[in-house]
Amino acid sequence: MLDSLLSAFGGPGASFLYVLTALAAFALTVTLERTWCLLVRWGALPDAARDALEAGDAAAAVGAAGAHPAAAVLDAGAGQDSADAAWEAMSVASVEAEQVVRRRVGALGAVGNLATMIGLLGTVYGLMLAFGALGDASAGERAAKLSEGIATAMATTACGLLVAIPSLAAHAWLQSRADAVMAQVETAAGRLALAKRRPASGD
pLDDT, residue 1, reads 66
pLDDT, residue 201, reads 43
Whether the CB-CB separation of 13 and 154 falls below 8 Å is answered with: no
What is the chain's pLDDT, residue by residue, as a tens digit (203 residues)?
A: 667 667 777 778 889 999 999 999 999 999 999 999 999 999 888 999 989 988 888 889 999 998 999 999 999 998 888 888 989 999 999 999 999 999 999 999 999 999 999 999 999 998 888 887 676 667 777 777 788 888 888 999 999 999 999 999 999 999 999 999 999 999 999 999 888 887 544 44
* C-alpha–C-alpha distance, residues 77 and 70, integer Å: 11
Question: Which positions ≥6 away from 56 have C-beta within 8 Å?
Answer: 195, 196, 198
pLDDT, residue 199, reads 55
Q: Which of 19, 20, 175, 17 is nearest to 109 (CA)?
A: 175
pLDDT, residue 7, reads 73
Q: Tell me, what DSSP letter sits at residue 40?
A: I
The pTM of the full predicted model, rounded to 2 decimals, is 0.84
Q: Which of 200, 176, 197, 188 is nearest to 94 (CA)?
A: 188
pLDDT tens, 143-153? 777 888 888 88
**What residues does each domain of the chain span?**
2-197
- Considering the chain, what percentage of its residues have pLDDT values greater than 70? 94
pLDDT, residue 103, reads 93
* C-alpha–C-alpha distance, residues 42 and 186, integer Å: 14
* C-alpha–C-alpha distance, residues 150 and 64, integer Å: 60
* C-alpha–C-alpha distance, residues 138 and 140, integer Å: 5
pLDDT tens, 29-68? 999 999 999 999 998 889 999 899 888 888 899 999 989 9
